[in-house]
Structure 1
Amino acid sequence: MTDRKKDHIELAFRSQIEKSFVDDRFYYEPFINTHLQKELKPFSFLGKEIRTPIWVSSMTGGTKLAGKINANLARACAEFGMGMGLGSCRLLLEDDTYLEDFDVRHVLGSDLPLYANLGICQLEELIKNNELSKISNLVSKLQADGIIIHVNPMQEWLQPEGDLIVRPPIESIKDLLKYADYPVIVKEVGQGFGPNSLNQLLQLPLQAIEFGAFGGTNFAKIEMMRNPDKLIQLYEPLAKIGHTADQMLEWTNAIVESNKHIKCKELIISGGIHSFIDGYYLTEKSKLPAIYGQASELLKYAQDSYSDLQKYLQTQIEGLKIANTYLKLK
């Protein structure tokens, strides 16, 4: 105790926080709960029971490093009761050379959500060629619960080897929903959806919408960094365009409150969520059942030893427990 009190004295001045840094999104209520009431409660999401409201947002696949990353992430999902979206599975549409990098169901287990992932350009091409059965085969061989379609027109436009989007993505999504006997999630890849796009998506019988909001990994900027052409750098202002998760949630909540007949019933709130406190705030604020997704934050820890990823998630979950116990949204 003497050592602890000495630490408190020595650190007291260093711990002073300026008022401008106070997180003003919450009421802190220290009188309402005890430490014994802090456990997270399991709940149903994407048709399965999860224990932790964190989603592993789609990242990467097709290299030896990606195989290790996916295995570590799937192992973490199994340990902590989370769901997982795979990186783009485009390579698996034609052959199974890289199947091992994506094949994580045996690690994850059968009781947690696992979704394959394709881009809107691949979907458009499959529709054009009457090959939607390839998506069914993909879902089947990965033992996935469904498919995520990522919509990324800005990235494709700026990518040197980018694909051309010929149809409005909403039309391709509607065609897929007419065919699919598996759940479908639609996401953006780092710049989010504006209110009109969100409104159209919420009217469709999607399993969920994943925000992929502005503030996290910016794939438009990544493509400009990959491209040595100096003229491409003149498009940099476009990389600064997008919508934050908070903005998108405001619009979504307004749509939900004004239209009780929306068909999409769940959200994965991702993009610029760097810690449990952002995730807690946004999921609590949502009018729809919601969890929050992370990609780059998890990627940092999943590349090395599993214990690094494990420790990171343990701290995030403990933070969520504290938030659930003592914080109330303003």
Structure 2
Amino acid sequence: MIESRKDDHIRIASGQNVEEGNNLFNEVQLIHMALPEIDLDDVDTSITIFNKRLSFPFIIGAMTGGTETAEKINTILAKCAEEYGIGMYVGSQRVAIVKPETARSFRVVAENAPTALKIANLGAPQVSRLDEKVLSDWVSQAIDMINADAIAIHLNPAQEVFQPEGEPWFRGVIDKLRFIKRVANRPLIVKEVGNGISMEVAKALVSKVGPDAIDVAGTGGTSFIRIESIRAGTTDEADVFSGWGIPTAISICEVRSVYNGVIIASGGIRSGLDGAKAIAIGANAFSMSRPLLLAALKGYDEAKRFIGKLLREFKIAMFLTGSRSVDELGKAPIVFGPTIISWLSQRNIPCKHIRRFM
């Protein structure tokens, strides 16, 4: 059952060590400005994305839906998104489309976050098998279910390969993405789920789809290879592929080298400082999932406290780099470590001021 799989994901992600790889933000150094020439109160962390004003460039990551536990988690996170004026993805909505009785677990997001940026979510393997009439209906249902401001299609080939009930169906996905872009009447986000997006994939998306945003979701955080292998009892295979993918910091650089649209950074981001580094090397916003899951399972107050901590860390990073605005943070001086420099050199991606090469 899809519902039991959703609860498995929550149980394993919250109760076991499922974070793998290195996002390489340890190799991104922001330059300290001892004379920032601004006061901390002068720092403006807000941005506008998809015509929504966010108090800081943070989006609660895609997590769950379809079960009673998921409904409670989504309610808490939606309340936080509304209070802080930030964005929120929902988990894959297929379960609510094929089992309408579970849709309530998603609708609570619209009810509790009426003005927040809300992002619907469907999986690429599933949409790849739908004809255009059915696909159009799925897209409309997903958007209407949460009154979404944008829709994300997630690319998860590694997860599908390791999932016991996996559907590793990716033939024809580009055509379906192009169709969704045409009919959704909302910005289209194409995202990974923890293994990163390469320059080649970004080029294909730019030339054939024209997404409004790309969420890189690189390695260094929650591994769905690990989660699904635990469910399947095939952890030996997961050990072989441990850390498979593109580190988040590098994925940002790869995508930014060929894409001039909105980049959302996710994959092992664990602090406001990580988020600031992501912005400095080319992202427009950042996202995280597992830390918010753990916080939400402890209740609203803990989730609210965690987001407040992120905001303060992000604002401090801006202040200490002399950045009055998020746009200025995107131009702050940076230094890369040797792994990133080597990777970008071998991939023929300009290293110096990577965010300016588009």
Q: Common fold, TM-score beyond 0.5? A: yes
Would the aligned equivalents of 2:216 and 2:266 in 1 still touch at CA under 8 Å? yes
- In the alignment, which residue of structure 2 is the partner of 1:309? 303
Aligned residues: 297
Aligned match of 1:248 in 231, 251, 254? 251
Residue 192 of structure 1 corresponds to 196
Corresponding position of 2:217? 212
Superposition deviation, residue 39 in structure 1: 3.9
TM-score by length of 1: 0.83
1:259 corresponds to which residue? Answer: none
Aligned twin of 1:285: 281
Q: 1:180 corresponds to which residue?
A: 184
Letter in 2 for 1:27: I
Q: Is 2:51 aligned against 1:55?
A: no
5+ long unaligned stretches in structure 1:
1-21, 257-261
1:224 to 211, 229, 246: 229
- Higher mean alpha-carbon deviation, 178-187 vs 27-36, is at 27-36
> Which runs of 5 or more structure 2 residues have no equivalent in the other structure?
1-25, 322-331, 335-358
| 1:135 alignment partner, one of 133, 139, 142 | 139
**Once the 2 structures are TM-superposed, how far is the Cα of residue 68 of structure 1 from its aligned partner?**
1.3
Structure 1 residue 129: deviation in Å? 6.7
The answer to whether the 8 A contact 1:281-1:329 is kept is no
> What's the offset of the Cα at 1:242?
0.4
Kindly provide the amino acid, as one letter, of the partner of residue 254 in structure 1. S
Partner of 2:22: none
Output aligned runs, 1:80-119, within 5 Å: 80-103=84-107, 104-110=109-115, 112-119=116-123
Equivalent residue for 2:31, pick from 9, 19, 27: 27
In the alignment, residue 225 of structure 2 is paired with which amino acid?
A
Indicate the RMSD between aligned Cα atoms, in angstroms: 2.1
From 229, 234, 237, the equivalent of 2:237 is 234
- For 1:293, the aligned partner's letter is S
Aligned to 2:341: none
Deviations 1:221-275 (A, max 9, x none): 211111125xx7235322431001111122123224xxxxx5xx21111001111
Aligned with residue 271 of structure 2, among 265, 269, 275: 275
Structure 1 vs Structure 2: percent identity of aligned residues? 27
Contact 1:212 1:271 in 2 (8 A): yes
Displaced runs of 4 or more, over 4 A: none
Which residue of structure 2 lines up, in the alignment, with residue 162 of structure 1?
166
Does the C-alpha gap of structure 1 residues 25 and 132 become closer, same or farther in structure 2, counting only changes over 3 Å? same
User: Greater relative contact order: 1 or 2 (C-alpha under 8 angstroms, separation 6 or more)?
Assistant: 2
Deviations 1:181-233 (A, max 9, x none): 2221111111111220122223332121111111111101211111125xx72
Please say which structure displays the higher CA radius of gyration.
1
- Structure 2: which amino acid aligns with 1:156? E
